Structure 1
Amino acid sequence: MPAKLPTCELPDVQANHPEIPINLTRVGVTNVKKLVEVAREKKRPIILISKFDIFVDLPSSRKGANLSRNSEVINEVLEEALSSPVYEIEDLCEAVATKLLERHEYASRAEVRMVSEYNVKRTSPDTHTECQEMVEIFAEAVAMRSPEERTIKMVGAEVVGMTACPCAQGIMKEKAIHELRALDIPEDKIEKFLERMPMPTHNQRGRGRISIQVHNNEKVSLNKIIHIIEDSMSSRVYEILKRDDEAVVVYEAHKNPKFVEDCVRTMAQRVLEEFPNLSDDAVVSLVQINEESIHNHNAFAERVATIGELRDELSWRRG
């Protein structure tokens, strides 16, 4: 039988002074996977497989942030936060960030980020075939120890859609007019034909992303954010399409051509429409990335602004 080691108090090496006394903005762990159960009124809860990034700041007087036991602390904090029903993922992140400050007495700031895949049910536009789509949802919270500073929360989503290029479509329209005139088609019939049948153009798979900063008790519906992103592109995309559905999707997309810039501007307008009660100082980030089909590069557009700034630009009255 091996000899039993004498009991002694183990040193807390992390509490020592570092050789280079510099403050660190973030120290923590990333890619912590957890099951999150999101409650819904009168519906079954949604189960999310989520990844968390969890950080605290570190003062220059401390060598480390107790990372050797941090996983245990984080698991305990997450389990405590998940023991009661969760309705908003940004509120969960806030609860975790607040508890982290309680456990890391040397920290003045705690930050929690959460990313999940969210299952959305879809019905194809013509045959009404049911399918499922996965979109990325995310939330973030930053808790400060200073009583003068409030907790900052953010929630958002990234969704894939389709865009049709207006520029190439305009070129193809002029070419069609030239060819139809060469066939002696009357001008009035050319006009009617072009009204009813959109011209071909190249398409892009677009990725729209919206994140909204929320304060106090402000609530932002993730489903509304997802719909705003989808409706800001030329067309939605579907996992399952029959031939009739495919014809509808292609036709509607070409009837609604959009540049990458158009998508971001549409998102901005729709955010103001759908969330009229957001405070003027709430910050919104709007991003569209189009993966070009006839170029090797992607097209990108972004707007970061407060809700008040967008209201002023669009002369929008707060709800």
Structure 2
Amino acid sequence: MQDVQNRMDGRGIAIQRVGIKDAHLPFLIKTKEGGFQQVLARICFTVALPEKYKGTHMSRFLEILMPWSQKPLAEPEMESMLEEALCRLDAHSAEVSLSFKYFVDKKAPASGRRSVLDLDCCFTGRKEKGQPMQFQLGVDVPFTSLCPCSKEISAYGAHNQRSVARVQLRFRPETECIYIEDLAALVEAQGSAPIYPLLKREDEKFVTEAAYANPKFVEDILRDIVLELRQLKGLAWFSLECENYESIHNHNAYAAHEESLV
């Protein structure tokens, strides 16, 4: 049968990224404890297409993904996946992004009841032929924030809300990336109080009072996270967004920051 994709194209336009998007497959994500967690990943997988070719071979992306979806996955496996794409699709660059829910263990602060908190996460790998992979970790971490101004001016109480920090990190090639569990703990510690899926009455009292004793604006939270991220060994770049889902306004409070580290 004729290979139409391999026909010559005379328009002189190289396409930077072409492939598949919104594919869904189960993946096994390596955990800090040395095991793995099964997740459902939403995938975008692309390569660069030279100007001389009419199209890429879409079926090969899934052919590459299927075996890797059955093995515990972290940075080395993603780099091997991209190396396979460069070879099989005769490309000079490739990129794959896996978005998924990851669950971390939480222990209620007073009762000790255990539960799991879901985090929106993303692994992104970018690789050029002959170069090391550039890996990017993304994690959205929820927490509680309590308004310092509300506490200061009110006779009693202060408004609080659920908040989220969206963090994207890239490390230098010779440095191992931080585990999802450790990044989530680092970020949530900068809010007014952590969030727990399961709380008994004694826990609710504990976290309410903990937040009241630790009021922070969205600017405070962002700056405190930035200071912590700067301490991570081998970090090359980060992007950070903090958003408070305000309880007394019909809009959110928002702050963002991006930094490259030498």
In the TM superposition, what is the alpha-carbon distance from 1:222 to its structure 2 partner? 1.6
Q: Does residue 210 of structure 1 match 2:167?
A: yes
Q: Distance in 2 between matches of 1:111 and 1:17?
A: 24
Look up the match of 1:248: 206
Check if 1:155 corresponds to 2:137.
yes
Distance 1:288 1:81 in 2: 34
Runs of 4+ residues deviating >4 angstroms? 39-44, 82-85
How far did 1:140 drift?
Answer: 0.7
CA contact (8 A) 2:79 2:127 kept: yes
Question: Would you tell me which structure has more helix in proportion to its own residues?
Answer: 1
Partner of 1:154, secondary structure, is strand
Change (3 A) 1:17 1:215: same
Task: Give the Å deviation of 1:115.
Answer: 1.3
Matched, 1:288 2:242: yes
1:70-101 per-residue CA deviation (whole Å, 9 max, x = no partner) reads 2xx23332344456553x2x333322222111
Secondary structure in structure 2 of the residue aligned to 1:256: coil
Q: Please give the TM-score of this superposition, normalised by the length of structure 1.
A: 0.75
* Percent of pairs with identical residues: 26
2:27–2:72 contact (8 Å) kept in structure 1: no
Taking a change above 3 Å as real, the CA distance of residues 42 and 66 of structure 1, as seen in their structure-2 partners, is: closer
Other-structure match for 2:64: 77
Contact kept in structure 2, 1:165 and 1:203, CA below 8 Å: yes
* Greater per-residue strand proportion: 2
The residue correspondences of 1:62-141 to structure 2 (distance < 5 A) are 62-67=53-58, 70=59, 73-81=60-68, 85-86=72-73, 88=74, 90-105=75-90, 107-141=91-125
Question: Do the aligned residues in 2 keep the contact of 1:124 with 1:240 (CA within 8 Å)?
Answer: yes
Of residues 7, 11, 20, the one that matches 1:16 is 7
Cα distance between partner residues in 2 of 1:234 and 1:257: 6
- Opposite residue 246 of structure 2, the aligned amino acid is E
- Aligned-pair distance for 1:162? 1.2
How many residues are treated as equivalent by the alignment? 261
AA matched with 2:65: L
Tell me the SS of whatever aligns to 2:230: helix
* Secondary structure, aligned partner of 1:305: strand
Shift of 1:16: 2.7
Structure 1 residues 134, 66: CA separation in 2 closer, same or farther (over 3 Å shift)? same
Deviation (angstroms), 1:224: 1.1
Q: Quote how far apart the aligned CAs of 1:253 are.
A: 0.8
Shift of 1:47: 1.8
Q: Call closer, same or farther: CA 1:133–1:83 in 2, change over 3 Å.
A: closer
1:34 maps to 2:34: no
Aligned residues: CA RMSD: 2.2
Instruction: Confirm or deny that 1:201 pairs with 2:186.
Output: no
With over 3 angstroms needed to count, the CA separation of the structure-2 counterparts of 1:120 and 1:85, relative to structure 1, is closer
Instruction: Please list every run of 5 or more consecutive structure 1 residues that lacks an aligned counterpart in the other structure.
Output: 1-9, 177-198, 309-319
**TM-score, normalised by the number of residues in structure 2:** 0.90
Instruction: Give 1:30 shift.
Output: 1.3
| Residues 1:259 and 2:201 are matched in the alignment | no
Using the alignment, how far apart are the partners of 1:61 and 1:40 within structure 2? 43
Structure 2 letter corresponding to 1:156: G
Match of 2:226 in 1: 268
